[in-house]
Chains A and B, each alone.
Chain A
Amino acid sequence: MVRWPHDLGLQIRMAGTLFLLALVYFVFIAVLAYIGVETLLLLVIVTIILLLQYFFSDKITLWSMGARQVSEQEEPHLYETLTRLCTIAGIPRPRLAIVDNNIPNAFATGRNQKNSVIAVTSGLRTMLNQEELEAVLAHELSHVRNRDVMVITLASFISTAAWFIFRSFLISGTGQLRGGRGGRQNLLFIIPLIAAAVWIISFLLIKALSRYREFAADRGSAVLTGQPSHLASALMKISGLMARVPTNDLRKVEGMNAFFIIPAISGSSIFNLFSTHPTVEQRLAALEQIEQELGRHGT
């Protein structure tokens, strides 16, 4: 049995964040029910939107990033690198896509292991050596394995609903959400305030969650490749170059906000190496830690 260093602290923080989210959502729904707001239609609409996003996340993301899916014949080397990682991880192999862009980056998308696509930019391939490229693929593969699209989509569900409620109040006063029978109509005015609070709190919690999931994917890459130092050097190379490239291009992803309409979940289907928040310094420190654990305990 391989005894790989587990980061219990990270898992506790992640579980804690999920628990807080659930708590906020529970309180929100309880308040809505107490006041007697008709939320059924709203929940149906949000469910449909999220389901659409969930099922088409791979196509939407690939399309908006200008990624082109490639076959095994076109990219035998990249595919074999991925194949070997998947064989060791014992999971089905996702498809690969290439983005013709000089900025080194990679992302994973798709709702489950079989429907996932991992995309890398042409800049990433030219900049990294074999081991570093493998480490980045392993990082993305960990996102796929951890079902990050599904986790974040689910985590964003009520947050999205809260945002919709807040918006509909802004647009039409208390209009669209009529109080149900026997409700406490006099309390309707606090709903937009509560909705806004729920949206802001859950937005921050989801951001924290996605940062934790970046750390988890880094750790997953270290475990899968058995070589944390290569991911570290890939991160340093990429960030070193990125410092000299205007960041505007990288923020292209932000354009997705407009596309998805819903800011809180716009990032959920894209796990960019860099667009989510942990700084490179933090990630390098975490990888350093894993290397030390390896040195101390072996595996």
Chain B
Amino acid sequence: MGLRETLDAVLGATRLPKSNLDKLFAISTASITMQSELDLKPAPAAGICFKPVESSRFDAAKNEIGELLRFSSKESGTTFRIETDEYRFIWVILTDPDFEDLVAGIHLVSLTLIEKGFGAYLLCAIFRFGNGKPVYWIYNFKQGRYYPFIPAADKTRDNASEFRIRSRMEKELPIENDVERWYPLWGIPL
């Protein structure tokens, strides 16, 4: 714990960590290995989740995201929809058979939020693989790391497969070391 965090804690000041986009694109190359070695094709959809903020500037940022996506969809053909989940978080779901376009779209949304000053409220980005049972790679913006999430029946998760996929992919993808941070997300809308 650094001096600044200690001082912040003692004086009760809250600072939220910044979001880190550096490693987001690592999923592009990883998707090729996922397909060739694990026979897991990327699904034609990806999502990004963030927390709404009570501010007119946030509403403006959200509108801008919609406009940017509409604009870029003319070129890429990516379609999108915006949803609010049961935790009142906002999801932007992108649909496109081209995985590169999905990654670019997720990057566009996160970058816009960061530029407008709401990067701290990014929860995660999610990429889905596999046809039947979904295999998710979740990008944690605060850690700048990915982790696998494979839900099973009744809100349990397939830990064995998650560990297996980690050991296969850890050379190509920056994976969260601390397994305790592999938080599940139930009811992912993609």
A interface, CB within 8 angstroms of B: 1-4, 6, 10-11, 14-15, 18, 73, 76-77, 80-81, 83-84, 87-90, 92-93, 130-131, 134, 142, 145-147, 151, 212-213, 215-217, 219-220, 223-229, 291, 294-295, 298-299
Closest chain B CB from A31 CB (angstroms)? 27
Contact A87 B123 (CB under 8 A): yes
Complex Cα spacing A1 to B116, Å: 9
How close is A133's CB to chain B, nearest CB, in angstroms? 10
Contact check, A229 vs B54: say whether CB atoms are below 8 A apart.
Answer: yes
Complex: A202 Cα to B111 Cα, angstroms: 49
Q: Is the CB of A15 within 8 A of B16?
A: no
Roughly how many angstroms separate A160 CA and B130 CA in the complex, as a whole number? 61
- Distance (whole angstroms) from the CB of B116 to the closest CB of chain A: 8
Complex CA distance for A184 and B101, rounded to whole angstroms? 83
Whether B11 lies near A223 (C-beta < 8 A) is: no
Closest to B138 in A: A87
Is A84's CB under 8 angstroms from B89's CB? yes
Q: Are A299 and B13 in contact (CB under 8 A)?
A: no
When the two chains form the complex, which single residue of B14, B52, B121, B184 contacts A145, counting CB atoms closer than 8 Å? B14
B155 interfacial by beta-carbon distance below 8 Å: yes
Q: Is B14 within 8 A of A223, CB to CB? A: yes
Q: Which of A90, A130, A299 contacts B117 (CB 8 A)?
A: A299
In the complex, whether B189 has a CB less than 8 A from a CB of chain A is no
Interface string of B41-71 (1 = CB under 8 A from A): 0000000000111111110000000000000
Contact A76 B155, beta carbon cutoff 8 Å: yes
Known: A90-B143, A295-B56. 17 other contacts (CB 8 A): A4-B15, A10-B12, A11-B12, A80-B185, A87-B123, A88-B16, A88-B120, A90-B16, A130-B87, A146-B8, A146-B14, A220-B14, A224-B16, A225-B51, A226-B51, A226-B52, A298-B55
Q: Return the contact of B9 from the options A6, A18, A145 (Cβ within 8 A).
A: A145
Provide the residues of chain B in CB contact with A15, threshold 8 Å. 11
A229 to B22 alpha-carbon distance, docked (Å): 34
Q: Can you name 10 A-B pairs with beta carbons within 8 Å?
A: A14-B12, A80-B186, A87-B124, A88-B16, A88-B121, A142-B12, A146-B14, A220-B14, A227-B52, A295-B56
| B148 at the A interface (CB under 8 A) | no
CA distance A90 to B58 in the complex (A): 21
How far is A180 from B181 in the complex, measured between Cα atoms in Å? 55
In the complex, the answer to whether B12 meets A216 with C-beta atoms within 8 Å is: yes
Whole-angstrom CA separation of A229 from B53 in the bound complex: 11
Interface size for chain B: under 10, 10 to 19, 20 to 34, or 35 or more residues? 35 or more
- Which residues of chain A come closer than 8 Å to B13, judged between CB atoms? 6, 11, 216
Given that A80-B186, A83-B183, A84-B123 are known contacts, is A142 also in contact with B14, CB under 8 Å in the complex? Answer: yes
In angstroms, how far is the closest chain B Cβ from the Cβ of A190?
33
CA distance A64 to B119 in the complex (A): 41
State which residues 4-44 of B face A: CB under 8 Å.
8-18
Write out the residue numbers on chain B whose beta carbons fall within 8 Å of the beta carbon of A223.
Answer: 14, 16
Q: Would A291 and B54 be within 8 Å (CB), given that A1-B18, A130-B87, A130-B88 are in contact? A: yes
B183 and A87: CB pair below 8 A? yes
How far is it, in angstroms, between the C-alpha of A36 and the C-alpha of B129 when the chains are bound? 74
Asked if A2 and B16 make an inter-chain contact with CB atoms under 8 angstroms apart, the answer reads yes
A294 touches B87 (CB 8 A): no
Q: Specify which chain B residues have a CB less than 8 angstroms from the CB of A224 in the assembled complex.
A: 14, 16
Contact assessment for A299 and B118 in the assembled complex, using a CB-CB cutoff below 8 Å = yes
Q: Does B166 contact A (CB under 8 A)?
A: no
Q: Which residues of B are found within 8 Å of A1, using beta-carbon distances?
A: 18, 117
Contact (A81, B87) CB under 8 Å given A151-B10, A220-B12? yes
Task: Tell me the smallest distance from the CB of A83 to a CB of chain B, in Å.
Answer: 5
In the complex, B140 has a CB within 8 A of chain A: yes
Bound together, the chains give a CA A142 to CA B11 distance in angstroms of: 12
In the complex, B142 has a CB within 8 A of chain A:
yes
Residue of B nearest to A2 (CB): B120
Nearest neighbor of A129 in chain B, beta-carbon distance: B88
Look across to chain A and name the residue whose beta carbon is closest to the beta carbon of B61.
A298
Residue of A nearest to B180 (CB): A92
Please give the distance in Å from B12's CB to the nearest CB on chain A. Answer: 3
Chain A residues positioned under 8 Å from B185 (CB to CB): 80
Partner of A88, one of B9, B51, B86, B184: B51
Distance (whole angstroms) from the CB of A119 to the closest CB of chain B: 20
Of listed B13, B51, B156, B185, residue having the most chain A CB within 10 A: B13
Q: Give the CA-CA distance A1 to B55 in the complex, in Å.
A: 16
B14 adjacent to A299 (CB under 8 Å)? no
Q: Is the CB of B88 within 8 A of A131?
A: yes
B87, B124, B181 pick with most chain A CB within 10 angstroms = B87
